[in-house]
């Protein structure tokens, strides 16, 4: 059986407010062609199908359109799990209907864990794989809180809850294999952050659990799992250098820090668990330009000659203070296929900050000034500030009296 592993589509994602529907449409068409050309039996989407829990109608139309088309191809089974960006209710709503098309959706952890165990059958009704379709596990799914527990206690319970979840499912799979009288591949999914996972600054990956980064160790996954299809991290990578524990990564670049990254989907042969990395074409070029004005304008001139559609993020870091930087860059890209999405002028920001405040360090502030800045930064209304300032002065005076 051939399995294609993908994740983190983030349908509806925008780059600095710029819609990307054309890119998503081209990717989904490419994925459909890839399934047919490589005779894929099973498609696994390991979470974060949408970028938001309230996706646009256009994003939903793309999703359901893809499912309707892919269900008529050689792909006999489609496994979709919810990620931390997805709405469990939205994904689960058409679940029973999609089941008749052999599309299995697990938007969130079900009340009965057995519902995450899916047996895939071939055309002759012979079992060919067991899927442990584990979605993103929310805090309430994996632990019970107790009064006065520490942060370390919470983290330990979360990690233990995730581990127990996978081991329970592995035991259920083992029992199924005994009933069948033979061993068939066990494929598990997940949407989480494994220890040692690689990310890039600004890649938009959210912390999964408030107040702590719960990074799951490899020992949380039973050895009986033949292949682990993970989502959440946007860089394609192995877990602890294990060939059969993988993140497929996002198929589209999520921001400019990933501009040089080759995106992939993973083709898995279930018989011997061999994994082939299939590069995803770049559907929209991104370019980050950092430097002084001369370097920026020269790079723009070079890119224009390529006559390609390129989105630009520009960071000016020259020594000169240039007030009309945006105007000069806009003029440089005029009538070209280049589109500037963001211009960062750190030099003028620093200048404005220096002009706007006479106090530069905390050491130069007295406690009342620190509190006043906190009120201002929090945009507290003036009528509330007077009462709060009075309360603060009373507390400060009491504290000073106690110290004396």
Q: Domain 285-355 adopts which CATH fold?
A: Double Stranded RNA Binding Domain (3.30.160)
**What local confidence, expressed as pLDDT, does residue 201 receive?**
67
CB atoms within 10 A of CB 330: 12
Q: Domain 2-279 adopts which CATH fold?
A: Purple Acid Phosphatase; chain A, domain 2 (3.60.21)
**What local confidence, expressed as pLDDT, does residue 212 receive?**
41
| Integer angstrom CA distances of residue 364 from 19, 321, 360 | 46, 27, 7
User: For the chain, what are the domain ranges?
Assistant: 2-279, 285-355, 361-403
The rounded percent of the chain whose pLDDT value lies above 70 is: 89
Beta pairing partners, 287 = 312
Q: Print burial letters for 136-159: b (CB count within 10 Å at least 16), e (below 16).
A: bbebeebbeeeeeeeeeebbebbb
Question: Mind listing the pLDDT tens digit for each residue in 383-402?
Answer: 788 888 888 888 877 776 65
Q: Does the pTM of the predicted model rise above 0.85? A: no
Question: Mind listing the pLDDT tens digit for each residue in 196-222?
Answer: 888 766 555 655 544 345 688 899 999
Of the candidates 105, 99, 110, 60, the one whose C-alpha atom is nearest the C-alpha of residue 79 is 105
**What local confidence, expressed as pLDDT, does residue 198 receive?**
80
Output the six-digit token pair for 55. 């996706």
Q: Do domains 2-279 and 285-355 have the same CATH topology?
A: no
Question: Mind listing the pLDDT tens digit for each residue in 271-289?
Answer: 899 999 999 999 999 999 9
Contact in structure between 173 and 224 (CB atoms under 8 Å): yes
Give the span between the Cα atoms of 199 and 177, in whole angstroms: 37
Rg of the chain taking only CA atoms, in angstroms: 26
Q: Pick the more confident residue, 281 or 379.
A: 281
**What local confidence, expressed as pLDDT, does residue 264 receive?**
97
Question: Mind listing the pLDDT tens digit for each residue in 215-261?
Answer: 888 999 999 999 999 999 999 999 999 999 999 999 999 999 888 89
**What local confidence, expressed as pLDDT, does residue 204 receive?**
59
| Integer angstrom CA distances of residue 366 from 135, 359, 362, 370 | 51, 11, 8, 6
404: confidence class by pLDDT, cuts 50, 70, 90: very low
Question: Mind listing the pLDDT tens digit for each residue in 185-194?
Answer: 999 999 999 9
352: confidence class by pLDDT, cuts 50, 70, 90: low
Contact in structure between 95 and 58 (CB atoms under 8 Å): no
């Amino acid at each position: 059986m051939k399995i294609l592993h993908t994740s983190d589509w983030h349908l509806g994602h925008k780059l600095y407010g710029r819609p990307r529907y054309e890119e998503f449409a081209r990717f989904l068409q490419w994925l459909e062609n890839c399934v047919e050309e490589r005779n894929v039996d099973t498609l696994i989407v390991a979470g974060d199908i949408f970028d938001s829990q309230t996706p646009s109608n256009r994003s939903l139309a793309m999703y359901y359109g893809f499912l309707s088309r892919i269900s008529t191809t050689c792909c006999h089974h489609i496994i979709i799990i919810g990620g931390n960006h997805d709405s469990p209710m939205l994904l689960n709503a058409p679940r029973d209907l999609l089941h008749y098309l052999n599309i299995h959706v697990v938007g969130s952890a079900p009340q009965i864990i057995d519902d995450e165990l899916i047996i895939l059958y071939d055309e002759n009704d012979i079992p060919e794989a067991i899927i442990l379709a584990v979605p993103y596990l929310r805090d309430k799914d994996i632990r019970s809180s107790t009064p006065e527990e520490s942060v370390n206690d919470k983290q330990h319970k979360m990690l233990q809850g995730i581990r127990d979840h996978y081991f329970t499912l592995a035991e259920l799979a083992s029992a199924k294999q005994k009933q069948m009288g033979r061993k068939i591949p066990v494929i598990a999914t997940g949407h989480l952050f494994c220890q040692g996972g690689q990310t890039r600054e600004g890649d938009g990956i959210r912390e999964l659990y408030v107040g702590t980064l719960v990074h799951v160790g490899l020992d949380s996954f039973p050895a009986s799992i033949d292949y682990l299809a993970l989502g959440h991290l946007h860089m394609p990578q192995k877990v602890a250098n294990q060939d059969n524990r993988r993140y497929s990564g996002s198929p589209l670049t999520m921001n400019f820090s990933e501009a040089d990254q080759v995106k992939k989907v993973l083709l898995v042969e279930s018989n011997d668990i061999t994994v082939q990395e299939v590069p995803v074409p770049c559907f929209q070029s991104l370019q980050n330009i950092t430097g002084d004005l001369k370097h920026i304008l020269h790079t723009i001139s070079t890119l224009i000659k390529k006559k390609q559609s390129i989105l630009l993020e520009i960071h000016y870091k020259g020594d000169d203070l240039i007030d009309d930087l945006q105007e000069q860059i806009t003029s440089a890209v005029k009538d070209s296929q280049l589109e500037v999405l963001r211009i960062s002028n750190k030099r003028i920001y620093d200048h404005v900050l220096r002009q706007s405040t006479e106090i530069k360090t905390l050491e130069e502030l007295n406690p009342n000034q620190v509190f006043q800045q906190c009120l201002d930064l929090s945009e507290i209304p003036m009528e509330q500030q007077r009462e709060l300032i009075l309360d603060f002065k009373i507390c400060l005076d009491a504290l000073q009296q106690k110290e004396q």
